[in-house]
Chain A
């Protein structure tokens, strides 16, 4: 038998002996003070029954031995020491003798209890911090958005003129639609001319507004009722652009960026459509001065509407530039001689001055909106960091109404997992930085990690979405911004090439056999195809009015179909719209010149 076995057997024997601790320990025969000490020790030691019996018996035996030796009870009591301290130490010693399963369970219980206490303490601290924290408003988004307008003198502001022109329009919805949906090959020009005559004063005022240096729109949170009523009459709907949810009452001292109304966008866009209709009328009337005035006014509107600097303003500007470029190419197809070299050169310079992709689509406004949201959600430690507050939680609930029930208590719990202000800012800025750098990358060069992929990285799992909740809720899908910027720049550059080709024809008497004849004299560089980065495909060919050419891009199917134009408006849109999955009804290319025309039924059907 090994030494360990022997020890184990001895232990078992000892335990059996303990289990049968005799009741004849003689406690009852001890003097009362000694009995009291034993009782105190056994009671305070809080032991198991057999442990208690063992200790009781041993102490009783001890005192009996003392008495047997002639020691008086007082002396035994004094020698014994403090019963409370003895109980504590005896408990500790006996607990160490308990079985392993009990020790493990005991330690586990202690650990769980400690953990529970820790969680309760942390939760209490977190709750106090959550309810006592106050957001610090460090800036007024309204001031930032209105900075450009504030720098403009009253007389330099275009918006009051646009507004007055819009309000003065004496048209109903059908009449307004007839003007804004007018196509250069329309057959109802006589009717349109009458409507344009009725709107002549407004159109003149729009041109006057376009001639002013800046937009000068002063954003606010107040509804412009006159504009709302006029928009309802002309478009059949009230359209005051703001992302503010209905349940949010704006802060009158420092209005939330989300509550700021961009009520100028719909009227200005309508003004641009009126200018376009007037330009078409001028084209048919062969009124060069009026046509030039309308085209330059359209480009001025596109520039004006970029201010205040918001993403949605950028998209309105893109829409105005797109409609202007399409119109310019129609003019060059239908009556190329109408405008003089100087006028075309002037228009070309104005087009070029609109800038590159990053100038067309600005994300500065988005960053402003998000920073404003953060300053209303979080505290501010002065170093860009902070924590979610109860007030911020209320604000979040009011603004992020996504059909999810977010009670304040729920937000309190959620805030324990929420990234701090600095981390959320970094996540959002990394998404926006990626979006901006992607906008500068041509479409034919793949972007390894787009803004939407970066966003997805922060919101992939439920825990990540909780951790970066403000980013998940407020960050927009931004990949579309890149495509929008390049589509409009492509359209603009192609239109510049079409103007340059016309100027080349006037100087040489014929269109060139190869497109590179227009560089560098008329154009610094050739326009490139979004599909492959190659120059746009050009082929000189006769047209209805003699010498002409075909200019086209491969389009979204990346296939050269020899310049086959789309036969349906949806195909014409699809072949140009990179980043979207559209199935073409028939193979085609993105024909830039001459612009494909569609039967009226097909166009209206689209």
Chain B
């Protein structure tokens, strides 16, 4: 189920902060992780993710840095249709990490989301138990 835009606007940044709280991640990785862990509920296009990352960066919650990705492969010209046959090549990715300010913000936002979910449950709007992956 896709989330409404207004809800996504509040939930997206918290989701990104939460993921970066565990380890540094790059853009594609974040997109995949959000989609996978929320069972597609908070899936977002790159046109949403990257501006969100830049905004979080501007607010000082995260910071980006370039790092060589040893595991990465650059597809050759001949085999763009099938990346599995590509010859591995080194290239850079931009990773993001959570700052202290971001950690504080995440803590605050988590409390607020918990309060919201409790309130929704109390009202009968949300009836399901929180998925383990989200709760942790």
B124 within 8 A of A: no
Q: Which of B27, B28, B75, B86 has the most CB of A within 10 A?
A: B28
1/0 contact string of A75-108 vs chain B (CB within 8 Å): 0000111110110011011101100000000000
B109 within 8 A of A: no
Residues of A within 8 A of B (CB): 3, 6-7, 10-11, 13-14, 17-18, 20-22, 24-26, 29, 31, 54-55, 57-59, 61-62, 64-70, 72-73, 79-83, 85-86, 89-90, 92-94, 96-97
Are A67 and B83 in contact (CB-based, < 8 A)?
Answer: yes
Are A82 and B77 in contact (CB-based, < 8 A)?
Answer: no
Among B46, B59, B91, contact of A64 (Cβ-Cβ < 8 Å): B91
Total A-B contacts with CB atoms under 8 angstroms apart? 130
Are B60 and A69 in contact (CB-based, < 8 A)?
Answer: no
Are B74 and A17 in contact (CB-based, < 8 A)?
Answer: no
Q: Which of B63, B83, B94 has the most CB of A within 10 A?
A: B94
A/B interface sample: 8 pairs, CB < 8 A: A22-B66, A25-B91, A58-B50, A59-B50, A61-B27, A61-B91, A68-B73, A80-B45
Among A67, A83, A90, contact of B51 (Cβ-Cβ < 8 Å): A90
B101 within 8 A of A: yes
B39 within 8 A of A: no
In the complex, what distance in Å separates the CA atom of A58 from the CA atom of B94? 6
Q: Contacts of A29 on B, CB cut-off 8 Å?
A: 74-77
Among A7, A26, A72, contact of B99 (Cβ-Cβ < 8 Å): A7
Are B99 and A10 in contact (CB-based, < 8 A)?
Answer: yes
In the complex, what distance in Å separates the CA atom of A24 from the CA atom of B101? 32
Expressed in whole angstroms, the minimum distance between the Cβ of A189 and any Cβ of chain B is 107
Q: Contacts of A80 on B, CB cut-off 8 Å?
A: 45-47
In the complex, what distance in Å separates the CA atom of A358 from the CA atom of B101? 82
1/0 contact string of B74-109 vs chain A (CB within 8 Å): 111100111110100001111000011100000000
Are B46 and A7 in contact (CB-based, < 8 A)?
Answer: no
Q: Contacts of B73 on A, CB cut-off 8 Å?
A: 64, 68
1/0 contact string of B48-73 vs chain A (CB within 8 Å): 10111111011110011110010011
* Chain B stretch 95-128: residues in CB contact (< 8 A) with chain A: 99-101
Are B54 and A25 in contact (CB-based, < 8 A)?
Answer: no
In the complex, what distance in Å separates the CA atom of A14 from the CA atom of B65? 5
Given contacts A22-B92, A24-B92, A26-B74, 4 further A-B contacts (CB under 8 A): A20-B66, A54-B94, A64-B74, A72-B81
Are A65 and B99 in contact (CB-based, < 8 A)?
Answer: no
Are A62 and B51 in contact (CB-based, < 8 A)?
Answer: no
Expressed in whole angstroms, the minimum distance between the Cβ of A1 and any Cβ of chain B is 12
In the complex, what distance in Å separates the CA atom of A10 from the CA atom of B95? 13
> With contacts A29-B75, A62-B46 known, is A14 near B64, CB below 8 A?
yes
Among B86, B94, B101, contact of A68 (Cβ-Cβ < 8 Å): B86
Expressed in whole angstroms, the minimum distance between the Cβ of B94 and any Cβ of chain A is 5
> With contacts A7-B60, A7-B100, A57-B94 known, is A94 near B46, CB below 8 A?
no
